[in-house]
């Protein structure tokens, strides 16, 4: 990506970066959306990617993402108009045209669909997002922390149906949407946080879309783990906690199959070298904490991921097996996520680990 444009040639790097920030996903989970976005950019030309501050302050904006189950999205692919439908209905509810869109979270498939939507609507994609990674709930955003309302919001499904929602308390949005998403087929296109470019510039996390492309280029350029970690450190502050072999996968939701856990699980890594330690990784739908010889070393909202040392690629959580040689990597979240209010939403305690985050000690 150069000169503020996203081209079809940039899509593989965007997808690779999106996978780093969503380590529970396998690359195959993005294939359909990658093909969709590539086709749109090949036929329609490059997409403008701009900082929010470059737009008129009163320009209307909305955050978009996929909400629901990734497996449901694979089983029930988009028909192509779900996101446009959601945005148009949000325009009607808010009384403001949407002149630019941004990712709710610059990670997973939700890092790619905003580019799809922007291309379909003929509007710019904002180089910003609400999370800087991915979190579980739609009010876990910098915009919410800054006081922007998540609703009105709209979800549109592949069934041709849509739901709109207004809530006085942001945390109620996910609870009320859950049954509706199931009825829509397990996933839906979400358009939320109707706001102005001035509000987005003040409340969102800047530069996160271009960062994904830059990170993706690093991951695609080398299969040497040491080179990759050093280059990532320069882009996003990545650090290696340790290198070792997985010696145990514990308390998996299906003990006979190493799969993404839906219940608390652990991965034990025996570090190599003269100062070897035992690293214990606590998993939910992502790695939420790393203990080094029993001491909490890193925890959400840090992004914790594993690099397959022998293949030089990010190791999805559903691909882990005893004997794998991995680097345990920690990438700091945006500073906004280390405030006391933010940690109460997304920190260790929110995952059932009643310990202070290492940064708060």
- Where do the CATH 3.40.1610.10 domains begin and end in the chain? 5-209
- Where do the CATH 2.40.390 domains begin and end in the chain? 232-360
Is the pLDDT at 260 greater than 50, yes or no? Answer: no
Give the CATH number of domain 5-209; options: 3.40.50.10440, 3.40.109.10, 1.10.3720.10, 3.40.1610.10.
3.40.1610.10
Structure tokens at 302: 């840090």
- Mean confidence (pLDDT) of the chain: 92
Q: What is the pLDDT of residue 361?
A: 67
Q: What is the pLDDT of residue 265?
A: 87
CB 60 within 8 A of CB 97: yes
Across 31-35, 134-138, 249-253, least confident range: 249-253
Confidence bin at 62 (pLDDT 50/70/90): very high
Q: What is the pLDDT of residue 255?
A: 41
What digits encode the pLDDT tens for the residues 89-137?
Answer: 999 999 999 999 999 999 989 999 999 999 999 999 999 999 999 998 9
Structure tokens at 186: 């397990």
> Following DSSP, what letter does each residue of 94-134 receive, concatenated?
HTS---EEEESSSSSGGGTHHHHHHHHHT-PEESEESSSS-
Q: What is the pLDDT of residue 251?
A: 64
* Burial class (CB within 10 angstroms; exposed 0-12, middle 13-18, buried 19+) of 56: exposed
Q: Which residues are CB-contacts of 291 (< 8 A; sequence separation ≥ 6)?
A: 279, 280, 281, 282, 297
Q: Cα(111)–Cα(20) distance, rounded to whole angstroms? A: 11
Is the pLDDT at 48 greater than 80, yes or no? Answer: yes
Q: Helix, strand or coil for residue 264?
A: coil
Across 64-87, b (16+ Cβ under 10 Å) vs e yields bbbbbebebbeebebeeebbbbbb
Q: What is the pLDDT of residue 26?
A: 67
Q: What is the pLDDT of residue 274?
A: 80
Chain-centre distance of CA 22, in angstroms?
A: 5
Structure tokens at 136: 């579980």
Q: What is the pLDDT of residue 259?
A: 34
Using a pLDDT cut of 70, give the percent of the chain over it.
95
More confident residue, 77 or 301: 301
Q: What is the pLDDT of residue 146?
A: 97
Is the pLDDT at 197 greater than 70, yes or no? Answer: yes
DSSP 303: E
CB 84 within 8 A of CB 68: no
Crossing angle of helices 113-121 and 82-94, rounded to 10°: 70
CA-CA-CA-CA dihedral for 203, 88, 32, 229, to nearest 10? -10
The predicted model scores a pTM of 0.93
Using a pLDDT cut of 90, give the percent of the chain over it.
82
Give the class (CATH, top level) of 232-360: mainly beta
């Amino acid at each position: 990506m150069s000169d503020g444009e996203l081209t079809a040639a940039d899509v593989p790097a965007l997808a690779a970066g999106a996978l780093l920030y969503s380590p529970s996903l396998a690359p195959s989970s993005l294939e359909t959306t990658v093909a969709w976005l590539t086709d749109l950019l090949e036929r329609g030309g490059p997409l403008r990617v701009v900082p929010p501050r470059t737009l008129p302050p009163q320009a209307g904006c909305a955050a978009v993402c996929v909400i629901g189950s990734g497996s449901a999205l694979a089983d029930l692919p988009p028909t192509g108009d779900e996101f446009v439908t959601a945005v148009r209905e949000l325009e009607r509810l808010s009384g403001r045209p949407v002149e630019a869109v941004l990712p709710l979270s610059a990670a997973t498939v939700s890092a790619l669909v905003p580019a799809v939507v922007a291309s379909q609507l003929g509007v710019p994609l904002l180089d910003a997002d609400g999370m800087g990674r991915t979190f579980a709930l739609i009010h876990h955003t910098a915009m919410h922390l800054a006081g922007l309302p998540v609703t009105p919001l709209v979800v549109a499904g592949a069934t041709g149906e849509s739901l709109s929602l207004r809530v006085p308390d942001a945390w109620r949005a996910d609870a009320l949407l859950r049954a509706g998403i199931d009825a829509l087929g397990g996933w839906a296109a979400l358009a939320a946080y109707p706001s102005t470019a001035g509000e987005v510039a003040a409340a969102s996390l800047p530069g996160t879309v271009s960062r994904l492309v830059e990170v993706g280029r690093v991951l695609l350029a080398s299969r040497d783990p040491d080179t990759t970690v050093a280059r990532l450190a320069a882009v996003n502050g990545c650090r290696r906690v340790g290198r070792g072999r997985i010696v145990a996968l514990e308390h998996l939701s299906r003990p006979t199959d190493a799969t993404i856990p839906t219940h608390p699980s652990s991965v034990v890594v025996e570090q190599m070298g003269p100062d070897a330690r035992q690293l214990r990784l606590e998993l939910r739908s992502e790695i939420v904490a790393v203990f080094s010889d029993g001491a909490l070393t890193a925890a959400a909202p840090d992004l914790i991921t594993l690099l397959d040392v022998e293949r030089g690629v990010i190791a999805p959580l559903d691909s882990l097996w005893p004997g794998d040689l991995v680097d345990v990597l920690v990438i700091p979240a945006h500073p906004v996520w280390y405030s006391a209010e933010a940690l109460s939403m997304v920190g260790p305690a929110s995952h059932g680990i009643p310990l202070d985050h290492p940064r708060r000690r």
